[in-house]
Structure formats: C-alpha cells, structure tokens
C-alpha cells in the first residue's frame, strides 16, 4: 500500500484508531478512485453517486457528527486524516466530503432543531442524500454579507427569492443549506429541498478545474419554504462563517494529500528517468526541488497537527484556521508546479496525476475564501484593523 512521507515521525502521535481509519480510506482510494479518476476528469464527467455511498460506508461523511445521528463520532484529527487521503485521490472527492460534512451536516447539527437533525443527518451520513451549501452569489463572493437572496414571512411559509452561484453538488443535491436575508436584513439558514416549486439547479460547465465534480447554481423563484425548514439556532453572518471554519480546517489537511501524491510521483520518476547517462535524481537542481518539497510538506503536516489538537480542545480561532488553509493550499500548488517540472513533458499528460492536481488546486486556492482574503484575515488579527471595511 502507498506510504506517504512522514519525515518527522508524526505517525507516532496518532492513535491506533486514527491509523485504522486512515488505512481504510487509503485502501478505498487506491481501489475505487485512483483507477478511474483520470478518465472522469479528462471527460469532464462527475463521479457517479456510488462514490458518495461508498464514502458513507467508510464513515467519511460527517465523521465528527455523533453516532446517534449517523455520524462516526470521531475527533478532528481523524477528520483531517480522512480529508488528506481523499484529496490524494482527487480534490473533487474531498470537496464532496467537505461540503457534505462541514457545510451541510455541521450546520444542521449545530444550528438545527432535533426534528431537522433526525430528518436529514442519517441520510446525509450514508450518502443516500446529497447536500449543497449556498453562500456565494453572482455579485457577492468574498463579501457574502452583501448577499441579495432574501425571504419574506408569508404566515404559514417563507417566500424565497434570489440565486447562488459556484455551488458544489448543486445539480444533484437533495437538500441545500441556503443563506438568505430575512425582512430585517439578518442572514438566516434555510433548508431547501429538491422538488420545491421554483427551485432549480443549473449546472456550470466548461471548467478546467475540479472536472470530476458537479458545480452549479441554486436559483429561487418564489420558492415556498416551510417554516420548519429554518435553522432556528443561529442569526447573522457568523452562521455560514462557522461552517467555513470547519471546511477550511478540512482543506488545510486535504491538500496535503494532493501535495504528497505529486511528491511521490516526482520522486519515483526522478529516480528512474535517465538523462546524460544518470538518473535525473542525481542532479543537484532536482535534489533541491525534492528536498524543498519534502520540507514544505513536513512543515504543513506540523501546522495541521497542532491545529487539530486545538480544534479537539475547542480552542482554535478562525484566524488560525485561515493561516493554515492559506499556507497549505499555496504549498500544495507550488509542489504540484515543481513536481510537474521534474517530469518534463510527461508531466503534462494524464498518465500521471500531477497536472490534474494542479488544475484542481486552482479552485481550492479560491474557494472557501481566496488566498488574499485569508491573508487579510491574518492582517486583521495581527493589527486589529479590518482591511475589508
């Protein structure tokens, strides 16, 4: 089985349970994802629903949700390890698991009432139902507080109007957690189900990134949403932003998987490929690349390890999560670019996973808060001055 780099013996810090979960996800990725992912990505065809159902069986959907609601009841380190293994397969698979776990199950568990938890969480945990998270709008991406989607109280239901854009899994979702303003301008969360009249989910095509993942819009044209579908326990932008803290944390771990696979591919290639009568791994310039890649992976592993411990103790701050998301995605993207160069022309082909990871990471560096937005969050935390206002 694949062995990832572990230069600082971080495996010694994991429990047996962590290692068992990681092995089962790793084995599944090798068996069910790696043999087919390149074909789906090249054809720009989303992976079949069976992939989500299999992730459900593995306990990869809502791993931190308590077992009574169908989750696996695991800690945050386990969640991170699962994300790393999934993203080694492809960012689109990790994306699906991130959205389902952190952006749909987390808000229903945290902000929902008992009826909502019992109705949705078990079906989302198995992958029988697919969830989506609607925050971004055509004219409000980095500034979600400016959203225009809104709803009115019509007595026995809410009337929802507006649209969301760039939504992972939108075209196939059974339920969407939609963030919209009420009549007082407060942001609230609504659970909008497929089949509600006036709710449509057109697909976004022509992507060069995350080609094996569904992306689309959520369009609300006078949708009557039952009152019991309002998430009762949160008001304001902090609702969606708390979900993002969880998803961004998962991404900081996830991208390590993409980086590790690029490194592994480049190392093996450099040892085998000969030029000037010697393996290219013997040239100092290639050794510099490989040594720097391993150094960056090791630093990123230490960052998420500490972040995971803080998250387990519920001491982590949103700004700490932003720093890790920003650092680790940039690390993975740079490693993909360097690894691609080590493979020369072969690096641009689908015979190797590097170019696919590189293209995917161009989305990952933008979604869940862009690279620049996360830097400004750190700047705000350091100085106490918001550059957004």
The single-letter DSSP state of residue 142 is S
Residues in CB range of 147: below 8 A, 6 or more apart = 135, 137, 140, 162, 179, 180, 181, 187
| Annotation marks residue 137 as catalytic | no
Interface residue with ligand TGC, options 244, 258, 303, 332 (CB under 6 A): 244
User: Is residue 242 near ligand TGC by the rule CB under 6 A?
Assistant: yes
User: Is residue 172 near ligand TGC by the rule CB under 6 A?
Assistant: no
The option from ligand FAD, ligand TGC, none interacting with 134 (CB < 5 to 8 A, set by class) reads ligand FAD
User: Which of these, 298, 215, 281, lies nearest to 7 by C-alpha position?
Assistant: 298
Binding mask 77-106 for ligand FAD (x = CB under 6 A): ----------------------x-------
Residues in CB range of 221: below 8 A, 6 or more apart = 161, 198, 199, 200
The single-letter DSSP state of residue 345 is G
Q: Which two tokens stand for residue 260?
A: 């590790």
The option from ligand FAD, ligand TGC, none interacting with 339 (CB < 5 to 8 A, set by class) reads none
Residue 326 or 340: which CB sits closer to ligand FAD? Answer: 326
The option from ligand TGC, ligand FAD, none interacting with 372 (CB < 5 to 8 A, set by class) reads ligand FAD
How many angstroms separate the first and last alpha carbons of the chain? 50
The single-letter DSSP state of residue 198 is T
Residues 273-312 that bind ligand TGC (CB under 6 A): none
Residues 98, 246: Cα–Cα separation, whole Å: 9
Residues 148, 378: Cα–Cα separation, whole Å: 27
Binding mask 78-107 for ligand TGC (x = CB under 6 A): -----------------x--xx--------
Q: Which two tokens stand for residue 259?
A: 């980086």
Residues 325, 4: Cα–Cα separation, whole Å: 20
User: Is residue 52 near ligand TGC by the rule CB under 6 A?
Assistant: no
Residues 140-199 that bind ligand FAD (CB under 6 A): 141-142, 166-168
Interface residue with ligand FAD, options 370, 378, 380, 381 (CB under 6 A): 370
From 85, 137, 261, 368, active-site residue: 368
Interface residue with ligand FAD, options 106, 111, 133, 263 (CB under 6 A): 133
Query: Longest C-alpha distance within the chain, in Å?
Result: 80
Strands 131-134 and 175-181: parallel
- Contact residues for ligand TGC, defined by CB under 6 A: 95, 98-99, 133, 135-136, 142-145, 168, 236-238, 241-242, 244-245, 318, 367-369, 373, 377, 388
Query: Which residues are marked as active site?
Result: 368
């Amino acid at each position: 089985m694949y062995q990832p780099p572990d230069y600082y013996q971080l495996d010694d810090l994991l429990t047996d349970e962590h290692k068992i979960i990681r092995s089962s996800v790793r084995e599944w990725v090798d068996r069910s994802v790696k043999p087919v992912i390149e074909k789906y990505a090249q054809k720009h065809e989303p992976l079949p629903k069976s992939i989500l159902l299999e992730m459900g069986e593995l306990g990869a959907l809502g791993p931190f949700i308590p077992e009574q609601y169908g989750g696996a009841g695991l800690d945050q380190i386990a969640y991170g390890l699962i994300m790393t293994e999934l993203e080694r397969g492809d960012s689109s698979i990790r994306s699906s698991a991130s959205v389902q776990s952190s952006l749909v199950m987390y808000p229903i568990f945290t902000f929902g009432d008992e009826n909502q938890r019992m109705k949705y969480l078990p079906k989302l945990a198995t992958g029988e139902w697919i969830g989506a998270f609607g925050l971004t709008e055509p004219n409000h991406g980095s500034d979600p507080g400016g959203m225009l989607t809104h709803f009115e109280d019509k007595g026995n239901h809410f009337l929802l109007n507006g649209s969301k854009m760039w939504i992972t899994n939108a075209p196939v979702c059974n339920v969407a957690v939609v963030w919209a303003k009420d009549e007082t301008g407060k942001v609230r969360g609504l659970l909008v189900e497929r089949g509600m009249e006036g709710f449509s989910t057109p697909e976004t095509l022509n992507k060069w990134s995350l080609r094996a993942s569904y992306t689309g819009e959520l369009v609300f044209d006078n949708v009557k949403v039952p009152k019991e579908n309002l998430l009762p326990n949160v008001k304001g932008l902090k609702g969606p932003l708390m979900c993002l803290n969880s998803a961004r944390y998962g991404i900081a771990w996830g991208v390590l998987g993409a980086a590790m696979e690029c490194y592994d591919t480049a190392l093996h290639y450099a040892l085998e490929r000969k030029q000037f009568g010697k393996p290219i791994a013997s040239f100092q310039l290639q050794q510099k690349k490989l040594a720097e890649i391993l150094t960056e992976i090791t630093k990123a592993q230490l960052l998420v390890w500490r972040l995971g411990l803080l998250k387990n103790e519920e001491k982590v701050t949103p700004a700490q999560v932003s720093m890790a998301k920003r650092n680790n995605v940039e690390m993975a993207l740079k490693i993909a670019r360097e690894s691609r160069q080590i493979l020369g022309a072969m690096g641009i082909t689908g015979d190797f996973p590097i170019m696919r990871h590189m293209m995917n990471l161009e989305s990952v560096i933008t979604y869940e808060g862009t690279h620049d937005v996360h830097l400004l969050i750190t700047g705000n935390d350091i100085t106490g001055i918001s550059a957004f206002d």
